[in-house]
Homo-oligomer: A and B are copies of this chain.
Amino acid sequence: MNESKPRTPRRSDATRTAILEAARERFAADGYDRATIRAIARDANIDPSMVMRYYGNKEGLFAAAVAIDLELPDPAAVSRDTAGQALVTHFLTMWEKNEVLTALLRVGATNEAGAERMQGIFADQLLPLARRVCPDPEQAPARAALASSQLLGLALTRYVLRFPPAVALSPEEIVAWLAPTVQRYLTAPHPA
């Protein structure tokens, strides 16, 4: 899907990445609708029409800006008992270090296409891990969804809504509180 051949490095690569960076920032801060191409171009110190030339249209730009890899560890390498802690820690680092995830979440909340993309990412990247770790593979989707609900819920309150107490929590505290939850969602017996 990705033409990542590094040959013919174009002279405009600097501009392209400047656009992408500005786009990520704006999408993260404002969501899809409020993040205007004009504003992004202004941030990147170029003309709005360049965005169109390089990314076709606004949707194309968004798609390019949030092509994200959760970089989840190999499912096979995750121990069954520490999956919860590993996941929470990993998500927290990912979320702290780049704003793309916030952008994706903000857009997913307003935009149908964004929601689908988010769905895809979690299905493709979290589900395999759940399938590997949880007792009955048939329950994997539900368990992965529960885990997502807690992980995304934290991201929502901390990075998007910015509830002061959620922002104030230290990463260590968050892991201490959330890891058992996620662990339970993934591996505990069904509570029915």
Contact = CB atoms under 8 A, between A and B. Distances in A.
Interface of A: 30-31, 33-34, 105-106, 108-110, 115, 118-119, 122-123, 141-142, 144-146, 148-154, 156-158, 160-166, 168-169, 172-173, 176-178, 180-181, 184-185, 191-192
Contact of A156 (B109, B163, B164, B172): B109
The quantity of this chain's copies bound in the complex is 2
A119 B161 contact: yes
A185 B177 contact: yes
Contacts of A185: 177
A142 B154 contact: no
Contacts of A141: 164-165
30 contacts: A31-B31, A33-B110, A106-B110, A108-B160, A109-B110, A109-B156, A109-B160, A109-B161, A115-B160, A119-B162, A119-B164, A122-B163, A123-B163, A141-B164, A142-B165, A142-B173, A145-B157, A145-B163, A145-B169, A146-B169, A146-B178, A148-B153, A148-B166, A149-B150, A149-B153, A149-B157, A149-B158, A149-B166, A150-B150, A181-B181
A144, A145, A169 — most chain B CB neighbours (10 Å): A145
A18 B172 CA distance: 49
Nearest to A158: B149
Contacts of A148: 153, 157, 163, 166
Contacts of A34: 33, 110
A169 to B, nearest CB: 6
